[in-house]
Chains A and B, each alone.
Chain A
């Protein structure tokens, strides 16, 4: 059986890994080629791929780079944990209780409609320019997304099981842990993963604007100095690292989760 064949059952994607690797390589090759064309058109203003690779190499071995990454990672972690906890609490409450839902509705709608920079601005105005205001801004910006996912999943639960729980007088604790948890766990996981994904993207903005140290502010610094290659290098390292963390941590957890729910 050639790895290029698609299974006759139709819907399962196993297009062979060789094909996917080839597609990946092609995508990179086209991207690099396109970028070089851009470099050439811009007369070197846009740094060439070679330049970028050099800068990346240098950045990778510079201790400062990793200091910055560490700082940023701490912020991401705090915001991620905080927003997930707060978001799950609110989302659950809103999903289970109609009054809570009505209460939070306008807040969430407004929060979703507020652009990210505003969170930073407001945090700075209220809390001053300390370290914590950036983290708080980030956390608050993430909460609405978590709430949304959790809320919709809790609302989508089987109401028949609610009735069953009431009839058999299972009580709050048993209901939450035995009946609701199973149904809602995938969404909780998705919410956490989403929170992390947004966290590392928005933290760049937070750091670029409010500029205590961190990868985001470094990237902005390099930009201001017009060191495009260095800026891109840092961005590349950061993005690849974050995606790796996501794939390893959340990907791994997901596999465990799937196994557990079977």
Chain B
């Protein structure tokens, strides 16, 4: 299952995310990171100099305050955000159910695995065009596209979680007579939490990328739609502004909300004091 390998690398993406950001950043680290950021700015500047069409970074930054005070933009931001969160929620539920079936290795698990495989192998663009065709320009279409894109990765990660349920802890539960409900509540579910959190964090970023593609084609609102609007009308400063908005929201929510949440939930983890 080639795409299962991709999902496994989603795991390594997550670990790398931690590696990029965790740990104490020594002073030289900060210096070089700043240099990295600077090189990004330099590239932008280079682009604006060599091409008539790339707006200089100064112009874009100047336009930020007035851009942020336009109320208009918040509607689209909310639209996209709602779609991301909503689809992700559905994807997690679907993925959970699929993972459970697949981990049991029953017949239906094998059938579900084929659908998971199919969903991973479906380019989002094709899904978006199909959704546009089938659902016309409706919310449902976007939700379907994003959900289909994300749920297989959730399923694969959670399947790992189910399969790695430690027999030893359930044995302990058996000796002390914990009973099925207590076992599920105290042993199985907490074991699955880290896997769920990891897949949510990965697929959150993935969902944002897919939502933009879906909005590009399938609907008339949201950040993706704004991109096309600005690009079609040659409003290149706007394209840059929306890009900044997009990156800020994605990184902001990820680093200010998701990761701290994950750290708090997993605070019982290794680390002898």
Contact = CB atoms under 8 A, between A and B. Distances in A.
B19 to A, nearest CB: 6
A107 B105 CA distance: 42
Contacts of B51: 125-127
A55 interface: no
Contacts, number: 186
Interface string B130-150: 101110000000000000000
Contacts of B57: none
Contacts of A101: 20, 29, 32
Nearest to A203: B123
A26 B12 contact: no
B12 A153 contact: yes
Nearest to A46: B134
A246 B120 CA distance: 14
A106 B129 contact: no
A127 B46 CA distance: 12
Given A231-B129, A250-B2, A152 B15 contact: yes
B230 to A, nearest CB: 9
Given A26-B111, A107-B40, A190-B5, A115 B134 contact: no
- Main secondary structure, interface of A, reads helix
A190 B31 CA distance: 32
A226 B133 CA distance: 8
A118 B212 CA distance: 10
B128 to A, nearest CB: 9
B155 interface: no
| Size bracket of the A interface | 35 or more
B12 A121 contact: no
A126 to B, nearest CB: 5
Contacts of B110: 15, 19-20, 23-24
Interface of B: 2-3, 5-6, 8-9, 12-13, 15-16, 19-21, 25, 28-33, 35-37, 39-40, 47, 50-51, 53-54, 105, 107, 110-111, 113-115, 121-126, 129-130, 132-134, 205, 208-209, 212-213, 216, 224, 227, 231, 236, 239, 243, 246-247, 250-251
14 contacts: A15-B110, A27-B114, A38-B134, A99-B28, A102-B29, A103-B32, A103-B36, A108-B20, A125-B236, A151-B19, A194-B5, A200-B123, A204-B126, A208-B129
Given A126-B47, A153-B12, 12 more contacts: A31-B115, A102-B30, A113-B246, A145-B13, A148-B16, A152-B13, A194-B5, A208-B129, A219-B129, A228-B133, A235-B130, A243-B2
